[in-house]
A and B are shown apart, each in its own frame.
Chain A
Amino acid sequence: MSGTATRAMRLLAGMSGRSIAAVKTPSRGVLAGLVLVGMAPQFLPEFYVTLLNYIGLYAMVALGLVLLTGVGGLTSFGQAAFVGLGAYTTAALTATADLPGWLAWAGGSAWLALLIGLALTALVAVVLGSMTLRLSGHYLPLGTIAWGISLYFLFGTMDFLGGHTGLSGIPPIEVFGVPLDEGREIYYLIWAFLLLAMLTTRNLLDSREGRAIRALKGGMVMAESMGVDTSRSRMIIFVVAALHAAASGWLYAHMQRFVNPTPFGLSTGIEYLFMAVVGGAGSVWGALIGAGVITIMKQWLQDVLPALFGASGNFEAIVFGVMMVLILHRARDGLWALIARCLPASRATVALDPSAAPLPHRTQPSRGEVILEAREVTRRFGGLVANDRMSLQVRAGEILALIGPNGAGKSTMFNQLSGVDTPSAGDVLFRGRSIAGLAARDIARLGMSRTFQHVRLLPGMSVVENVALGAHRRGSCGVLPAAWRLDRDEEARLLAEAARQLERVGLAEQMHEEAGSLALGQQRILEIARALAADPCVLLLDEPAAGLRLLEKQALGQLLRKLRAEGMAILLVEHDMDFVMGLVDRVVVMEFGQKIAEGLPDEVQRDPAVLAAYLGDVQ
């Protein structure tokens, strides 16, 4: 038992925001905190134990919102309804004397009711999510508002749920035959649940699925190009957040031994969101701090304000609302970020195991084989023809440059080739197979990998984790193995692969730094490493030299030469002629959406049409 406990503590100690937002955490503080949590019921009066019970329950819900809002950039006002779903499921199953025959099997056991409640919640969340998650981000919260209100009204009107008076007579939870019918007893269960939730959340974020989840906020286009199904990742966090809420509701019902609709309304849903934002939606600790601060303040304000205003009512909401606005104006990362700034830093680094077995490779094509081919690609936007019957071929072991003056249609062409956009006419072939119309993530899976004109990486995440995102499709472990650390073998292989690619591009020394702290040149190299981690047979580079200093350009050129020598096919879109001319094998020049020249760099440079395109017509 004690061994497991220390291990849990050590894991929790590592649960700084590092995995979420690179916030610092003192491990000794966590240790002391855990001891304090364990001892609390022994010396605190009943009132405070109850308060701590509530904080634990609320923090569990807020934790789900941290995942959803702080990490995923989504939000929900309907978490209280999920709490209600968990609470009412167990209330109906354990407190109803005569369940209908078809449900009789489910009655009586609180633990069985927990499982049923979680299953029901997951089902509702999946349905709700599948309707809103494909739309822009603000439809989910609007959907959850509507869902929160509807469910609240249903709780209040359904007779078998007791209407507005609710259901009473809920039995206590039994653990190994011991009923937890005192606040001091269920306290341990609540906090065990909370710590477990924090632990599994942290584990999840520190995994293959977790990296995809952390890419949701500001990195979705990039993640899709790395083969990540971002809709799926959004669904995962929405369901996980809902499950946290339902578990909290289950505990709540058995603590109160009574449920009615009031605590599951929209205003409570909003309060949960306040907890996450006030505490700091970027960190698992924010959930705890937020739940603590709001719960304690509420207790206090409910005493003070009605006396102050000479009327009764939920006036604390005014204070919370103003506080929220101020926090969003002044300290958007919440209280935890403010606290963390004052704490000594202890950044854990990702552990790498160089002995991990390498990931399987795809069979690379032989040198000279046509990898990527555009055939008469035309793209129209309304009356504008951005690409007009463009054809080109990229072969294994060569670098092809697509150049042209600004506005010539290079970026549009790049989008046609990389699957971001679909041609109006013509075809794009990848190793002989048409890929026009395929999603970016499916093209990534086939073996095409790209970088971005404006570097797209996750600045708060370490370099090696950023690169590991590129290898997403080469792993397969899902959410549950990640939460319970059953994915470590695969994870080690993914990280080792990322480290290998970083060595290949010469960025090994920066492996554990935050990606955002790198110079622009290094960030571009990082993007190439990330693209290589996908084990591609063609690299598409969108203006890789833009904004680089001379030395950085030289380093980049060397790297590309090396990759070419290894047999890689490389297509680059560039306007930096200096960079292109000394490096590439062939050049395709575009102007007004058309190909105006193709050939060796020296030939193209002397071509009068090219000179005119770049310098303008001689008038």
Chain B
Amino acid sequence: MDLQIALLIGQDGVTSGAIYALLALALVLVFAVTRAIYIPQGEYVAYGALTLATLQSGALPATLWLLMGAGLAVTVIDGVAAIRKRDGRAWGATLGWNVAYPAVLVLTLSALSPAQLPMALQILLTLAIVVPIGPMIYRLAYQPVAEASVLVLLIVSVAVHVVLVGLGLLFFGAEGSRTAPLWDASFAVGWMTVSGQQICVLAASAALIVGLYLFFEKTLYGKALRATAINRNGARLMGFSPVFAGRLTFLLAAFIGTLSGVLIAPVTTVYYDTGFLIGLKGFVAAIVGGLASYPLAAAGALIVGLLESFASFWASAYKEAIVFTLIIPVLMWRSLHSHGIDEEA
């Protein structure tokens, strides 16, 4: 292998590392705020990519029906509670977000022909469809067991993952899809060639990371989320409810996941179950950071990305095994640094 090939592979690794970094950040965030190990994070990647592909093919993506179905379920559950408390405003808000919004979306999409729309609008529509599913899932699957042990939340996560993958197969079939390129250009930088796609991925990841940083550092809602992660009871006493924190977190996680899907869709053939493996690589990265540190998780993501692309060059058959075996030294290292008995097990 000469330097040029190494650089090429390294470039690839950094690009996928950027995606893993985004996912790892979402996983750390969800765990810090809700204590849920969010296995279904990868499903947003697949849903995002496949929804965009469906839009580009001119059809209505089936994720719309999931949005409507989940919305209806939330409406029934929350609506009954709101009526019982005679809380008209809450009932209105529930109805608006969970019934009216999906309905408007369906009508808009039926009226337009999505394949003809500009790419940016297609991406926006994809986000509009998939991202709101996040908080609905929180409401339906997690909120009723929000106070349960990490173990129970983990099992719920696995169950939700299984459901979403099953639905993905139902919605999109077993065939994989690719979307139109985001930016069909390439540039020569020194002896390297950088594609427009790579620039898009890196720029979008960087923008998202900066955006998240600003959100958490500069806005009161962002600070309130951090506060919840640091001290749930304290945040509650400030009037910031854990339910709201959970929904907001799941919204952010869904946004990050869906956007990652949109970013990889032009270069990777995405199948209904592709998201899971991608999400797990995000997990390996998040574990490097002990599910607690954002910078370490991002660094871990770069390592995972690089390891993966070099492994696929040298021993492509063992690529996945090698990436997931990385978790072993990481766990050993963490294990050596742990002490004491953790009752929350």
Contact = CB atoms under 8 A, between A and B. Distances in A.
Chain A bound to chain B: yes
A221 B151 contact: no
Given A146-B324, A216-B345, A318 B163 contact: yes
Contacts of A274: 159
B166 A73 contact: no
A131 B331 contact: yes
Contacts of A322: 159, 163
B173 A311 contact: yes
Contacts of A22: none
B235 interface: no
A123 to B, nearest CB: 15
A69 B160 contact: no
Contacts of A507: none
A157 interface: yes
A366 to B, nearest CB: 35
B262 interface: no
B159 A143 contact: no
B200 interface: no
B345 A220 contact: yes
Interface in A126-184: 130-132, 134-139, 141-143, 145-147, 149-150, 153-154, 157
B287 A73 contact: no
Interface stretch (A1-9, A51-59, A325-333, A575-583): A325-333
Given A135-B331, A317-B165, A318-B163, A273 B158 contact: yes
B96 to A, nearest CB: 26
Given A216-B345, A325-B141, A309 B324 contact: no
A121 interface: no
Contact of A328 (B145, B280, B344): B145
Contact of A150 (B321, B331, B341): B321
B227 interface: no
B223 interface: no
Given A132-B335, A135-B334, A315-B166, A218 B280 contact: no
Contact residue range for chain B? 35 or more
A321 B162 contact: yes
B207 interface: no
A45 to B, nearest CB: 31
A132 B166 contact: no
A40 B91 CA distance: 56
Given A143-B327, A149-B320, A328-B145, A69 B151 contact: yes
B342 interface: yes
A73 B341 contact: no
Contacts of B283: 142, 145
Given A137-B344, A138-B37, A315-B166, A146 B327 contact: yes
A136 B345 contact: yes
A267 to B, nearest CB: 8
A418 B344 CA distance: 21
Given A135-B331, A153-B321, A329-B145, A314 B155 contact: no
Given A77-B158, A150-B321, A134 B335 contact: yes
A132 to B, nearest CB: 6
Nearest to A332: B152
Contacts of B341: 220-221, 224, 230
A126 to B, nearest CB: 14
Interface residues of A, number: 52
A320 interface: yes
Interface in B133-184: 140-141, 144-145, 148-152, 154-156, 158-163, 165-167, 169-170, 173-174
B270 interface: no
Given A270-B158, A311-B173, A328 B345 contact: no
A324 B331 contact: no
A41 to B, nearest CB: 33
A316 B342 CA distance: 37
Given A73-B151, A270-B158, A321 B335 contact: no
A485 B152 CA distance: 33
Interface in A274-302: 274, 277
Nearest to B317: A157
Interface centre among A69, A141, A220, A273 (most CB of B within 10 A): A141
Given A313-B170, A313-B174, A315-B166, A141 B156 contact: no
B163 A321 contact: yes
Interface in B25-41: 37
Contacts of A153: 318, 320-321
List 9 tightest A-B contacts by C-beta distance, closest first: A137-B345, A321-B163, A318-B166, A324-B159, A321-B162, A146-B324, A317-B166, A146-B327, A150-B321
15 contacts: A73-B151, A131-B328, A135-B331, A138-B150, A142-B287, A143-B331, A146-B284, A220-B342, A224-B341, A230-B341, A311-B169, A318-B166, A321-B166, A328-B145, A328-B148
Given A136-B345, A139-B287, A153-B320, 17 more contacts: A75-B154, A132-B335, A135-B331, A142-B37, A142-B327, A145-B280, A149-B320, A150-B321, A317-B163, A317-B166, A318-B162, A318-B170, A321-B161, A321-B162, A324-B159, A328-B155, A329-B144
